[in-house]
Structures are given as C-alpha cells and as structure tokens.
Amino acid sequence: MLKLIVPFVLLFGAIFLVVESDDPDPPADFTFINRGDVTTLDPQRMSWMQDLRVARLLFEPLVRLDVMTRDYDIVPGVAERWEVSEDFKEYTFHLRADAKWSNGTPVTAQQFVYSWRRALLPETAADYTALFQTIDGATDFFEWRSEQTRQYAIRARDLTAEQKRIESQKLWEEAIAYFDEHVALHAVDDRTLTMKLTASTPYWLDLCAFIVFAPVYEPLVSQYEQIDPDTGLVKLQLGWTKPPLLISNGPFTLENWRFKRSLFLRANPLWWARDTLDIETIAIPSVEDSNSQVLAFESGSVDWVSDVNADYRIQMLADKQAFYDENREQYEALKAQGLDAFSIDAALPDDPRKNIHALGAFGTYWYNFNCKPTLPDGRENPFHDPRVRRAFSMCIDKQRICDDVMRIGNQPARNMFPPGAIAGYESPAGLPCISDARNEAEKQAIIARAKALLAEAGYKNPADMPRIELLFNSDGGHGIVAQQLAKDWEEFLGVRTFLAQKEIKVYKDDLKKQNFMTGRAGWFADYADPTTFLDLNRTEDGNNDRAYSSPVYDGLLDQAKLETDPDKRLAILAEAERLIMEEDLPLVPLFYYVNIYLFDPDEVTGISNHPRLQQDLFNVDMLGDGKGRDQVKHITSKDLN
C-alpha cells in the first residue's frame, strides 16, 4: 500500500510547489475584462478592438481624440501643433520636445516614417495598410514591393544560399530607396513630419489619431526584422511586444503580459501628460466565458466588463429599466439638466441594477445581397436585380427584430451610420420597411410596392422564385435573426427561404467567393468619415463581398476625393449613400450594434458614451480611492464651455 501512496504524496507536493512558485500580479487600481484576448501589441499589425484598446494605453500617435467631448475634439499627442493646407492635402506636424519613449529617448519624426513604412510593406500584414495609402505614392510603393518580391521568389529558386543572402539584402535596400523617393512622407528634421496626400482628406487628423498610426521604437523593432533569403520578404520575429522588451511612448507601460492570463500596466512616469492620470495601475485579466465575466464583476474582482454577452443580459437590462421606472421623477429631472447617461446613473440612488449599461456602438448589422447574375455553381441569382433587392429590403420588420429577437435595445437602421456619429454628416432617409408603416394600410402599401417590384423583375408570383438561400455563421446568436428574416419574407412576400448555417471559416469563404444569395454581415467604423463604410461598396474594394459594381457610385466617391470643400464633399458622399440605401441596396441594414457594459457608475468614471464608443482608459478615475481627482467626469462640449 505504501508503494502506492508514495507517488501520490510526491505528486501532491510537486503540484503545491508549482502553484506556490507562481507570482500573481498585485491588485490594480482599475481592473477590466477586455472584449477578447489581446492578439498583438504591434500597432501597425492590429485590427481587433481589444488590441486597439490596449494599444491606446501603451502608445501615442501624433494626435489624439478626446473621447470625453461631444465632438471628439482632436487634441495634441506627440505633435504639439500642426498645419493643414487649404485643400486638406498637405499636413505638417511639429513634434513636442518632451515626447519620450519609456526608455527616456526622444520620439522623433524619423521613427514615424519608419513605422508608417512598416505598415506599407505587404509582408507586415497590416490590416489597415489601405489607410496609409492615403499618402501620395504609398499605393505605388505597396504595389511595387509586392511585384518585386513576387518576382524575386521565382528568381531565388535558381540562386545559391550565399547569392540569396546578398540579393535579398539588395532588394530590401532598393525598397527603402524607392520609398524615400516616391512616398510623400518626410522627416524634415527630428521634430517635423510632413506628408502630402493623394486627395483632399479633411478627416486625415482623425486617421492620424487612430492607434495603428502610432510610432514604434525603431532601434528595437528593426532588430526583430530579418530579410528572409528565400522570399526576400521582411520576416518579423516575435518577442519585442512583450515586457521587459517593449518600449512604448504612451500613458502606460506594459509591466507584465501572460498569455491567456493577464496584462498588467503601470502609469508611464516619462509620459508628457503624466499629471492627467488618475490611476496608477491597470489589470486586464483574461476571462473568456460570458457567465464567468458577470460573476467576476459581481464578486467585486473586476471594475468594468466591456462586452457583456451572457444570455441573461436581457433580464439585466429589463431590471435596469425597472430601476429607472421606480426613480422616474429624479431621472427625468437629471435628464432635463442635459446630463449624459452615466452621469445620470451616478446621481441616482445606489442600486446594483444600475451597473448595466446598453450603449449604441459605431457599427451596423446588415445582410449582404450578392449582386452577381449567377452563383459559382451556375444557378441563377435573383438578387442580381436591384428591384428584387429593394423588394426584399422593404419587407423586413426591423423593429420586431430589435424588440422581439435581439431585445437589448438596438435601434432599427435605415441607413449605414448610427445617427450623430459623424459630425456634420446628414444620412439619407433610406428605404422604408414594414416597421416604418404607421398603420395597416401603409403596411399593405409597402407590401404591394414590393410585390410590384418583384413582378417588374419577372417574378409575378413570388412563390415561383428560385430557392432563396440565406447564409449565416453558427456562433454569435445570428441564427435567431436569420429565422426572423425568413419568417418576414414568407409572411409579407410569400417567399420560402432556405437557411444555410455554416461554420465561421466556411461562411467567410462563401462570402468572399460570392457563394451566397443573401448573408449576414456587419461593420464597425474605423474613423469618423462616411468613407469608412462607403468604401466597402466600391467595385474593387477587398471587402466588397457583395460584388456590387456601379460606375455612378464609384464616380461619386471619386468626385468626393477631388472636392476640397468639406461640406460639399459630405453632400456628395450623402448622395452616394442615398444611391445604395434607396435604389441599389447591395445590402440591407437591420440595426445598429449595441454594446453592453457592466460597471458601477458610483465607482468608475471616465468611460465615454459617445456614439463612436471608443474608450481611452487613461481617462478612468476610481471614485473615492484617494488617488487622482476623484470627481465624476462628464462628457463636455465646446459649445457649453
């Protein structure tokens, strides 16, 4: 018996030792659960919301957006001031003298050139490389480099190892020379950065505030870039984004990053605006399960859950509504004062029900229509005809989808942009749908119009249409929306729809190959200009899964590029949006996304509820912790001050 017990005792001892030797992070001033695990902290390569959110704490671009203002004011970042030419084509930035990296060296204009060049190399795999191509000559460089390396890969097959080493190095030096000569991005001196753009871009400052435009520390990163002799491509070695190696220039520094466990950030003493910070440390534990996220909040170990997905969030939101109803009088009075939702919550009596917050996000949920005449397997695609797309778009009860299916407070969408998200932009009215009808007669009129459109398109009897297929991916609760949509079309048009649920990779593949008739999709905006959505429907755009191609539409977007008057430019873009939202309908918007937060407004302040819904967590202050100013932060407006 002893023989058997000995190994077990030894094992228990070993487990005890392993666990006890672990060194957990100390408690942080502010702890939050991010939208998902951070995949990369390389600013040029990132595109996930959770990565961007952490990067905004670690890095600082030329300018920043003040998310606590109503108009998202552009405020100085690494650049202390800038000049913009009248046609919005030439920008000059003057870098501040006290902008420093976390190792104490100054941030220079040359480092911006280096970082932005990285984003323009095809092999960096920067998801946002297209945004950098706004710079004059950048597209040319990107294509030139793609072609050069493609040819090299073929040539290299016949070279010896030593030849490959020399040739690939030469190819790289040529690329740098080509960049310096052709791309209109220059470091005039250490603290002056100039750039010329291909077209009038009034929103360029907004882009420069986007964190993928942040600089990386060249002496470090360049050591991790090696030329691969076989392909001639720059091969990025991993490791420099992790502590203690990472050198950054933002409000916080990364003290610890443990895979699938946690990130730990500490205020950067060398950041030029260090005085504005009200917290010292931030912890971001990795909690994937949506129930566990809520439990973590309820047990008090987490201050903010940034994306509540537990199924019972619907009940939680209903409880919140009940709480408002109980305090109706006080609520209305606070609202009349012009306070934002979080400030109202903070002023209401203490109650756990007020910790849940549903907020409109800068994103839209829609269904794509395949605009090609046939499917890859040769079948006829009825949605090729814009009249069919219009008819189907009209016969959707969007309000019912929001109220009965989603049930988390989404607003039905008639066009691509959530209202109020883009200052100065007026979205078109859009195509009316079933839920826009105020009475039964109007509803019947909409249905009659839709049926007439189908008849014009050659489908006198909708039931005789070819089998309509609706594509969606299996996870994320898209199934119930798809079912409701199919039900709407059957109820209003008499069309039977076949639901095709596919695993996410297959679904993506089908969308890319136009192997669908209509399919689930959506988009979150990257910057505050209509082109962030409108470019998706350009004929040649890589994200144009609909294969929509309209010379008129493309022409309007081109025309907007040439227009130097910002107001006229927005008017042209609104006309382009009208074209796709009222006539051509390559996609039908269903509703605007809602994001659900969980935090106690009596404890946490500095979270923004602007419709663009970006969170810069260096604004956060924990109320009553004795650190920082400990005052509720309200969203401010220039007009009010």
Residues 102-141 that bind another protein (CB under 8 A): 122-123, 125-130
Tokens at residue 311, please? 């199924």
6 binds another protein (CB under 8 A): no
Distances, alpha carbon 433 to alpha carbons 412, 413, 430, 450, 590, in Å: 10, 10, 9, 10, 10
5 binds another protein (CB under 8 A): no
Q: H/E/C letters for each residue in 627-639?
A: CCCCCCCCCECCC
* Dist CA 639 CA 627 (whole Å): 30
* Owner of token pair 């600013």: 43
575 binds another protein (CB under 8 A): no
Q: Where are the beta strands (DSSP E) in 135-289?
A: 185-189, 192-196, 225-227, 234-236, 252-258, 262-267, 281-285
287 binds another protein (CB under 8 A): yes
Which residues inside 329-388 make contact with another protein, applying CB under 8 A?
A: none
12 binds another protein (CB under 8 A): yes
* Dist CA 355 CA 189 (whole Å): 50
Which residues inside 419-458 make contact with another protein, applying CB under 8 A?
A: none
Residues in contact with another protein, shown as a per-residue x/- string from 475 to 504 under the rule CB under 8 A = ----------------------------xx
399 binds another protein (CB under 8 A): no
Residues in contact with another protein, shown as a per-residue x/- string from 163 to 202 under the rule CB under 8 A = ----------------------------------------
Using CB under 8 A, which of 83, 143, 565, 567 touches another protein? 143
String of b and e for 375-387 (b: at least 16 CB within 10 Å)?
beeeeebbbbbbb
Stretch that binds another protein, among 62-70, 86-94, 297-305, 391-399 (CB under 8 A): 297-305
328 binds another protein (CB under 8 A): no
Question: What is the nearest approach in angstroms of another protein to the Cβ of residue 204?
Answer: 19
15 binds another protein (CB under 8 A): yes
Q: How far out from the chain centre does Cα 352 lie?
A: 30
Instruction: Give 312-340 as a DSSP string.
Output: THHHHHHHHHHHHHHTHHHHHHHHHTT--
Question: What is the nearest approach in angstroms of another protein to the Cβ of residue 557?
Answer: 18
* Dist CA 154 CA 265 (whole Å): 46
Using CB under 8 A, which of 70, 155, 261, 266 touches another protein? 261
Using CB under 8 A, which of 42, 136, 278, 621 touches another protein? 42
Distances, alpha carbon 595 to alpha carbons 306, 433, 622, in Å: 8, 25, 22
43 binds another protein (CB under 8 A): no
Closest to another protein by CB, 241 vs 484, is 241
Distances, alpha carbon 25 to alpha carbons 31, 40, 49, in Å: 11, 21, 24
Stretch that binds another protein, among 252-260, 383-391, 574-582, 608-616 (CB under 8 A): 252-260
298 binds another protein (CB under 8 A): yes
Question: What is the nearest approach in angstroms of another protein to the Cβ of residue 328?
Answer: 31
Closest to another protein by CB, 261 vs 400, is 261
Question: Which residue type is seen at 621?
Answer: D
Q: What region does 424 belong to: left with phi over 0, alpha with psi -120 to 50, or beta?
A: left
Question: What is the nearest approach in angstroms of another protein to the Cβ of residue 262?
Answer: 8
Question: What is the nearest approach in angstroms of another protein to the Cβ of residue 33?
Answer: 9
